[in-house]
Structure 1
Amino acid sequence: MKKKTGIWVIIGFLFFAFLIYFSWQRFGPTEASAKILSKQAAQKLVQDRYQGTVIQINLTDKQYHIDLEKKDTIYQIELNAISGKVLSFVKKESKSPPLNEPEVTFKSEDEIRKIILAKVKGTIKSFEKIVNEDETIYKAVVKEGNNQTTLSVDALTGKILSSITTQTNTSSRRLTEKEARDIAKKQVNGIVEHIWLETKGEQTYYLVEIETQDDREAIVQIHSITGNVMSISWDDRSSDDDDEKSDDSKQRGKDDKKEDDD
């Protein structure tokens, strides 16, 4: 009887030793005595091993459930919280642009033009859309009389970002032939025969040839920018003809007087 009891004691001891050995091989130190990895340690272990970023980590029943992001893909990892052994590694999802994201709608060119003309009266001389990395704007130039306004408008909100008004120099505008003709006719009454433009030195001027009713000819010199009358010159042919007629009359008078004396 004692012999049988000793045999069962030996068998029980061997079985218990086998269980301890198996648990050591399977789990390492017994869970009762082993220390659980901290979240920081588990996170570092996973990130170092898989070269990704832990975006979520939770501890449940001595296992860490970890979401790891790597190259726009989310992986789900189960990690033994004591041994640090990876129990599973599964692809969870691929990141994609958010759905139902509101579409960015810019204002139309007509809407922007109305906003500009409500701010500045005049005529739009230039209008362009400028697309930058961080914003899209419209740029316009509005002309009214001698004033020129440059505006920048946000294409998304319609807000006027800047408005700069300058005066244009109208004095540099060249007279048209019609304007020069009208100025000349105010100086000399007659019919304009010819008009041409000449430049001498740094001055450019119009020369307007006018024939009067008594067959005289005048040339009016007019500055092409200011419109000032620079000179009026008369053709000497008519005065020479008058002098010749006068000389002929005098000569005939002398001849007639000489005949009377004879």
Structure 2
Amino acid sequence: MKKISWFWAAICSLLLIIVFIGWQQFGKLNPSADMLSEQEAQKLVQERYQGKVSLIKLTSQQYHIELEKQNRLYVIKLDAESGKVLSFAEIGSTGKSTPPAPPTEVELTEEEIKKIVLTAANGSLVSLEKIVTNQETTFKAIVNEADKQTTIIVDAISGTILSSTSTAVNQPPKRLTEPEAVQVASKQVLGEVDDIWLETEGDRTYYFVKIETKDDREATVQIHAITGEVLSVTWDDHDSDNNDKDDDD
């Protein structure tokens, strides 16, 4: 009888151990109704720390959660029943790099734009105007060249010449300079220039160059001030004046 009693006692003890172990395992795998669900735990952490949950698992009535925030990685231990944060630790970076912000576009200065313009067109800068259209900024430059006027459009940021157009300009006729007029007159009469002056008749302008020769004679050369054409050579006749004086005597 004693053997049978000890046998049943051992059987009962073994059953109790099996039930206890089973309850432990079952309890770990199946959270009770009072425990937070994974969705609730994830929402709680994300709202509290403003990050993104990348991993969550339940172990021994605790949620082990990995949270990504600002390219950093954190591990959080959360009580599955109360929702209390048991630990919060940073374990490194996520390995994800934030794309760099695009560089701020800086406009070229007016001096830089002028250099670009005068490299493209050999002349004098008449005007430089900044134009903003559809959030794009350009410079409009006008350059006077020898016989034309050129309008150049330049991108304000890159300095690229977007367009260049030229129009012919009617230049007023160029007038001879006094040295040029003297040179023309000296080819007609050899001597020393005594005087030079300009006269205008209507819409025509003339140079008059007075030259004194070595034999004391004087000649006045009339030259067209634009074309350089010699129109007349007039001599002052001193011999006639002397003869007239002798006759009077």
Q: TM-score, normalising length from structure 2? A: 0.48
Q: TM-score, normalising length from structure 1? A: 0.46
